[in-house]
Structure 1
Amino acid sequence: MVEKNEQATVENEEVTVEGTEEATETVVEEVVEEVSAEQQKISELEAKLEESENRLLRLQADFDNFRRRTRLDQEAAQKYRAQNLVTDILPALDNFERALKVEAEDEQIKTFLQGMEMVHRQLVEALQTEGLEAISAVGQAFDPHQHQAVMQVEEGEGESNTVLEEFQKGYKLKDRIIRPAMVKVKQ
């Protein structure tokens, strides 16, 4: 009987060991699954963090570009603030110059022309203060950025592609062409 009890105890221990091994395997599998799930969550969170960091860097770069563009626009607006006024005044300046070319024989007209010449000079000086300068044309090589050719002739002195005569003055404000000079060019 003792033998039977010992045998039953051994069988119970075998069943207990087998049950323990199965339980251990189950627990290990559950732990591995939980660790895998946690690692997957960590990977997802790292991906989201990297995406957020990239978005933040892009936003910072966009903001820096916006600030730079705004600053450049403000500098250009300040530099060329007088452009509209100068453009509106140029026809009056042209008329002044045409009027000053009139030959006067009467003393009153000469005095009047001297007054007009003084006003013209003051107007030109004020515009030069703002950065306006006349484009030199006669005798220069034709430059399509500064000159507008309204005539081409084959005869005349000078080399080919040279400005022979200026019909209307051209002007630039600082480094920007406001109006190209209308010229006659030798072919």
Structure 2
Amino acid sequence: MEQGEKQVMEQATYDEPEREQPIEEEAAPQPEGGSGGVPLEEAGGEEAAEPAEKAPTAEELAAAKAQIAELEAKLSEMEHRYLRLYADFENFRRRTRQEMEAAEKYRAQSLASDLLPVLDNFERALKIETDNEQAKSILQGMEMVYRSLVDALKKEGVEAIEAVGKPFDPYLHQAVMQAEAEGYEPNTVVEELQKGYKLKDRVLRPAMVKVSQ
């Protein structure tokens, strides 16, 4: 009897259909900005309107204008200061350049000035007249040295100043005498008492001269 019930139960187990598993529904995507598809603006209500900017008072406007005027004045002062500094710098550059050019141009001035008395002594010695052959030989040697010295100075731009027959020029000539002279216009150099020299366009020593009245 029990064996028969067991068989009946097993048969019933095999015949029972399988139960279907419930299918889970996929959750619908939620819209951005809030839960339940409600936008944040609607969920939280409309944003409050921004308050209108407050118009500046008369005191604030006056203070702002005063500050602007002060800044403009400072800017103008800085511009003038910059222009003055720029002008000073340009003048400094120009003076420096001129000094350098002058130093190069007249580099032989000191040496030439020191040699002028030597030239004077040579010229005085060469004016000596003698019949002594030995003295003549010495004078010839001195003249060669003198010519070499003059040529060397000429290469550096040192030249004798023209005097006799030229109109008197106080920049080039130093009048030590004045006298009447036939055949010369008034204020003309008629005699040179000491040679003058110039270095390019700069006078090293004016010529000492006698001028006609």
Normalised-by-shorter TM-score class: 0.7 to 0.9
Question: How many residues in Structure 1 have an aligned counterpart in Structure 2?
Answer: 161
| Residues 1:148 and 2:152 aligned together | no
Q: Give yes or no for contact 1:156–1:164 (8 Å, CA) kept in 2.
A: no
Distance 2:57 2:168 in 1: 86
| Residues 1:90 and 2:113 aligned together | no
Of 149, 153, 157, which aligns to 1:127? 153
| Residues 1:55 and 2:84 aligned together | no
1:6 counterpart residue number: none
Q: Give yes or no for contact 2:181–2:190 (8 Å, CA) kept in 1.
A: no
Q: Give yes or no for contact 1:137–1:147 (8 Å, CA) kept in 2.
A: yes
Instruction: Give the alignment's TM-score, normalised by structure 2.
Output: 0.70
The 10-residue stretch of structure 1 (47-56 or 114-123) with the greater mean CA deviation from structure 2: 47-56
Alpha-carbon shift at residue 38 of structure 1 (Å) = 2.0
Alpha-carbon shift at residue 72 of structure 1 (Å) = 1.0
Aligned partner letter, 1:72: Q
Aligned partner letter, 2:74: K
Distance 2:209 2:183 in 1: 15
- Misfit runs of 4+, over 4 Å: none
Question: Alignment partner of 2:190: what SS?
Answer: strand
Q: Deviations over 1:101-126 (max 9, x none)?
A: 11121221111111111100010011
Distance 1:30 1:181 in 2: 84
What is the CA RMSD across the aligned residues, in angstroms?
A: 1.9
1:171 counterpart residue number: 197
1:22 counterpart residue number: none
Cα separation, partners in 2 of 1:47 and 1:155, compared to 1, 3 Å: closer
More helix by share: 1
Q: Which has the higher contact order (CA 8 A, sep 6+)?
A: 1
Structure 2: give runs of 5+ residues left out of the alignment: 1-53
Question: Alignment partner of 1:102: what SS?
Answer: coil
Distance 1:36 1:29 in 2: 13
Distance 2:150 2:132 in 1: 27
Instruction: Give the alignment's TM-score, normalised by structure 1.
Output: 0.79
Alpha-carbon shift at residue 40 of structure 1 (Å) = 1.6
1:184 counterpart residue number: 210
Question: Alignment partner of 2:57: what SS?
Answer: helix
- Mapping of residues 19-58 of structure 1, within 5 Å: 31-58=57-84
Cα separation, partners in 2 of 1:39 and 1:95, compared to 1, 3 Å: same
Larger Rg: 2
Cα separation, partners in 2 of 1:30 and 1:159, compared to 1, 3 Å: closer
